[in-house]
Chains A and B, each alone.
Chain A
Amino acid sequence: MASQSQDHYFVPDASIYPFACSIALFFIAMGGACYLNGFAFGPNLMMVGFLGMGALLFKWFGSVIKESPEYNMDVDKSFRMGMLWFIFSEVMFFAAFFGALYYLRNLAIPWLAETELLWPGFEATWPSSGPVGADLVVSGHPDATAVMEGTKYGLIDPLHLPLYNTLLLLTSSVTLTISHHALRANKRTSAIIWLAATVALGVWFLYLQAEEYIEAYQVLGLTLGTGVYGSTFFLLTGFHGFHVTLGAFILFIVLLRMMRGHFSADKHFAFEAGAWYWHFVDVVWVGLFIFVYIL
């Protein structure tokens, strides 16, 4: 057992979790590839990987929580920097999709419309599901009407569910900050209540997003296959929704820990890391609301 004094940087003992997590990751990745290619055992393999990863991360984080009294300020700083750089990597992941949106909307679509030979009759508009069918209309093809009918889709009204979701997430950032201030002032009950409110707002957001997706698929005919508009819409909002799920889960765990008496007024890195992550997710949403829904 490592029992170093506070002036020592904490170097943990040997641990099986990294190696075991790598095996779980292997199952997830391999299972995913098999699943996508129609092997019946693919989903099972993936499930084994996910369950294993979940259990291992639970144990791993558990051991970090147990060790945490031994961490000195340097270790704390390492964790903080690590979390910030991780969030930066997430920013760059979203940047790839925002970049794709910019390129498709402002360059690819206009270029396709300029290429008269390839897709006569296609006009550059946004949103666009692409030029499929446009040439059939021009040439008076008998299937033209049917094909064009198949490409019809409606749009999500930005001032309905997306606006509610914007307000929900922005409010959740405020409640989270109130909770943080309460924790720092050692008002635990208040901190717990405001954090619970934050998690609830996050779940509410996810519920509304699920409704929006159902509306898109069942009423509007807007799907992943709706050309580049559907692709960028669902991948951007979908990855964001996934991150909200993750962020809400992190905050939920932090809430449980807070209810069990973890964290002190001046030492609560997990809370802060979760909060940073939540604010990051919030900022991405504002970007989505502007560039995907409104513009």
Chain B
Amino acid sequence: MSNANTAHDHHDDHDHPMPTGFKRWFMSTNHKDIGTLYLIFSLSMLMLGGAFALVIRAELFQPGLQFIDPHFFNQMTTVHALVMVFGAVMPGFVGFANWMLPLMVGAPDMALPRMNNWSFWILPFAFLILILSFFVPGGAPASGWTLYAPLTIQGGMSVDMAIVAIHMMGISSIMGAINVIVTVLNMRAPGMTLMKMPMFVWTWLITAFLLIAVMPVFAGAVTMLLTDRHFGTAFFNPAGGGDPVLYQHIFWFFGHPEVYIMILPAFGIISHIIPTFARKPLFGYSSMVFATAAIAFLSFIVWAHHMFTVGMPLQGELFFMYATMLISVPTGVKVFNWVTTMWRGSMTFETPMLFSIGVVFLFTLGGLSGLMLAITPADFQYHDTYFVVAHFHYVLFSGAVMAMMGGAYFWLPKWTGHMYNEKLGKIHFWLTAISFNVTFFPQHFLGLAGMPRRYADYNPIFTEFNQWSSIGAFCLGLSQLLFIYIIVATVRGGKKATAQVWDEPEGLEWTVPSPAPFHTFDTPPTLK
């Protein structure tokens, strides 16, 4: 199998020469270059969104108002979330998909390479609009990332800018998702049946389906906002027979699958890393596939658990409570499979493995707090408190973002041809994991004690936990500078990586040289 791509060398003289400069980076049709662009963009947005978060944590270090006024505080919470969700996490995973899917399924490129580039280049312009909204009268949107009506009906020009930016992000996501689905369904090497696909490919296939299903619904929701704002419609206006709660229903019909869009590819990544460093095949592959599909299905029928306190009929509250709790079954299957993969494996603890074990442990904590939130009567207490903030940062940061960091260390040698500095990588992991917990663990207590979220000020009894949280946040932010340093250093040099990189890892991507050549699998590899 290691000679898979050398069989048809005579085709190479027909290939395009490798472009350089503007042509390479702005006009690319190469999945690896576009993947790199996505990953750089995602990392930049992580830093920008992180900077917004640090403004929030600086203000909350003490009760009272220190640095910023409450309106700007609200802009920070809103744009922090929008940037992190649509700018850092989603494009980050698309970057991984671009780099790895063609390599994993043995395809020469993504199925629709020009559309792939368009998906990417829409994003910087969409975020330019979002960031420009800070400079219009009234400042950036301050309604929270969910853009609930009627707050957004009353907002200024920035709401319109957020709406058009979201439309652009939606177009980008849908095109990206179509590309992923078509690549996976149409471009697999002969012999790679669906149930032989690597887990990352499976999770992305299902994620792409979710994206195509719900991004247009979100587009519909913000379109209704736009017409309510400017064209006199009454979707969310009770005087005309509308209902602001309708917005919440449509938003969360998108929003809940969206959270799985942000976590399923993370599951895929760690399903590659854990078997590699436990030196055992993934335990329960087919149950992993079916669990992923089950999570995707359930994601469509649980949305109203975000709205337990909004005033729904009792039957609705009960249905959404039970449906939500069902999700813990397939998620539990996954967690137990990862643990069982490690069971009696000959484990080593390189940086990607540390991050993956961190994900399994910390994401599960986030899952358990999610189970608490799913209990309707209990949620009346937790709703819109810091408990919720703690919960979704455990699943999004220590789930999605840390899985991406682990994935970055795992495949960085394949991308750059160099090994990263293992010692610095481990230091980065421990700094990240510890400061993350210092930041967010106290927020559980704050929330249970009743501190509401999205306020610039708080009751002095909450001071101490908030100070822990702020100190942790600054450590967490600064630790990521080390991450950037490690990546830059690895790109520029370091120990040469072999084609296999790790100790007999599974998958086609390890059969091509490191760094992966500009064109791979021009003719499909043959599977064993």
CB under 8 Å from chain B, chain A span 188-242:
223-232, 234-235
Stretch from A125-133, A138-146, A176-184, A266-274 contacting the other chain: A125-133
Stretch from B109-117, B339-347, B372-380 contacting the other chain: B109-117
> What string of 1s and 0s marks CB contacts (under 8 Å) between B208-221 and chain A?
00001111110111
Q: Is B165 an interface residue (CB 8 A)?
A: yes
A92 to B523, Cβ gap below 8 A?
no
B168 to A92, Cβ gap below 8 A?
no
Q: Is B181 an interface residue (CB 8 A)?
A: yes
A17 cross-chain contacts in B, Cβ below 8 A: 114, 118
CB under 8 Å from chain B, chain A span 235-257:
235
| A33/B235 contact (C-beta < 8 A), A60-B114, A89-B174, A89-B215 known | no
Smallest CB–CB gap between B94 and chain A, Å?
A: 15
CB under 8 Å from chain A, chain B span 408-465:
none
| A78/B187 contact (C-beta < 8 A), A37-B157, A85-B178 known | yes
B160 to A36, Cβ gap below 8 A?
yes
B113 to A235, Cβ gap below 8 A?
no
A128 vs B238: C-alpha distance when bound (angstroms): 12
CB under 8 Å from chain B, chain A span 1-58:
2-5, 7-9, 11-19, 21-23, 25-26, 29-30, 32-33, 36-37
With CB as the reference atom, state the residue of chain B lying closest to A126: B241
A11 cross-chain contacts in B, Cβ below 8 A: 16, 29, 108-109, 113, 519
Chain B residues bordering chain A, tally (CB within 8 A): 84
| A3/B14 contact (C-beta < 8 A), A19-B26, A21-B118, A227-B240 known | yes
B109 cross-chain contacts in A, Cβ below 8 A: 9, 11
A16 cross-chain contacts in B, Cβ below 8 A: 26-27
Q: Is A157 an interface residue (CB 8 A)?
A: no
A130 to B239, Cβ gap below 8 A?
yes
A12 vs B112: C-alpha distance when bound (angstroms): 9
B240 to A231, Cβ gap below 8 A?
yes
A12 vs B126: C-alpha distance when bound (angstroms): 26
CB under 8 Å from chain A, chain B span 1-25:
11, 14, 16, 19, 23-24
Q: Among A7, A78, A231, which residue has its beta carbon within 8 angstroms of that of B186? A: A78
Most chain-B CB neighbours within 10 Å: which of A85, A119, A129?
A85
B182 cross-chain contacts in A, Cβ below 8 A: 78, 81-82, 85
Smallest CB–CB gap between B224 and chain A, Å?
A: 7
B129 to A33, Cβ gap below 8 A?
yes
With CB as the reference atom, state the residue of chain A lying closest to B232: A225
A26 vs B223: C-alpha distance when bound (angstroms): 17
A85 to B115, Cβ gap below 8 A?
no
A29 to B164, Cβ gap below 8 A?
yes
The binding surface of chain A is classed by DSSP as helix
Smallest CB–CB gap between B306 and chain A, Å?
A: 16
A239 vs B174: C-alpha distance when bound (angstroms): 19
Q: Is A99 an interface residue (CB 8 A)?
A: yes
| A95/B108 contact (C-beta < 8 A), A74-B187, A85-B181, A104-B243 known | no
Q: Is A77 an interface residue (CB 8 A)?
A: yes
B217 to A96, Cβ gap below 8 A?
yes
Q: Is A148 an interface residue (CB 8 A)?
A: no
A226 cross-chain contacts in B, Cβ below 8 A: 240
B29 to A12, Cβ gap below 8 A?
yes
Q: Among A13, A103, A129, which residue has its beta carbon within 8 angstroms of that of B29? A: A13
B220 cross-chain contacts in A, Cβ below 8 A: 93, 95-97, 100
Q: Is B488 an interface residue (CB 8 A)?
A: no
B216 cross-chain contacts in A, Cβ below 8 A: 89-90, 92-93, 95-96
Q: Is A164 an interface residue (CB 8 A)?
A: no
Smallest CB–CB gap between B22 and chain A, Å?
A: 9
Q: Is A291 an interface residue (CB 8 A)?
A: no
Q: Among B108, B228, B238, B253, which residue has its beta carbon within 8 angstroms of that of A112? A: B238
A197 vs B174: C-alpha distance when bound (angstroms): 33
B240 to A228, Cβ gap below 8 A?
yes
A25 vs B177: C-alpha distance when bound (angstroms): 19
A14 to B238, Cβ gap below 8 A?
no
A7 vs B157: C-alpha distance when bound (angstroms): 53
> What string of 1s and 0s marks CB contacts (under 8 Å) between B128-158 and chain A?
1100100010000000000000000000010
With CB as the reference atom, state the residue of chain B lying closest to A115: B238
A37 vs B138: C-alpha distance when bound (angstroms): 13
B233 to A231, Cβ gap below 8 A?
yes
* Contacts A4-B11, A14-B16, A226-B240 known; 14 new A-B pairs at CB < 8 A: A11-B16, A15-B29, A17-B114, A26-B128, A32-B164, A78-B112, A82-B112, A85-B181, A92-B217, A95-B217, A131-B241, A132-B240, A224-B232, A235-B227
B residues bordering A, Cβ < 8 Å?
A: 11, 14, 16, 19, 23-24, 26-29, 107-109, 111-115, 117-118, 120-122, 124-126, 128-129, 132, 136, 157, 160-161, 163-165, 167-168, 171, 174, 177-179, 181-182, 185-187, 212-217, 219-221, 223-224, 226-235, 237-243, 245-246, 249-250, 253, 519, 522-523
A-B pairs, 10 with minimum CB distance? A96-B220, A130-B241, A18-B118, A231-B233, A225-B232, A227-B240, A93-B216, A130-B240, A29-B164, A22-B121
A-B contact pairs, 14 of them (CB 8 A): A11-B16, A17-B114, A19-B26, A22-B122, A88-B212, A93-B217, A96-B253, A103-B246, A104-B235, A112-B241, A224-B227, A228-B242, A231-B224, A231-B234
A residues bordering B, Cβ < 8 Å?
A: 2-5, 7-9, 11-19, 21-23, 25-26, 29-30, 32-33, 36-37, 60, 74, 77-79, 81-82, 85-86, 88-90, 92-93, 95-97, 99-100, 103-104, 107-109, 111-112, 118-119, 128-132, 223-232, 234-235
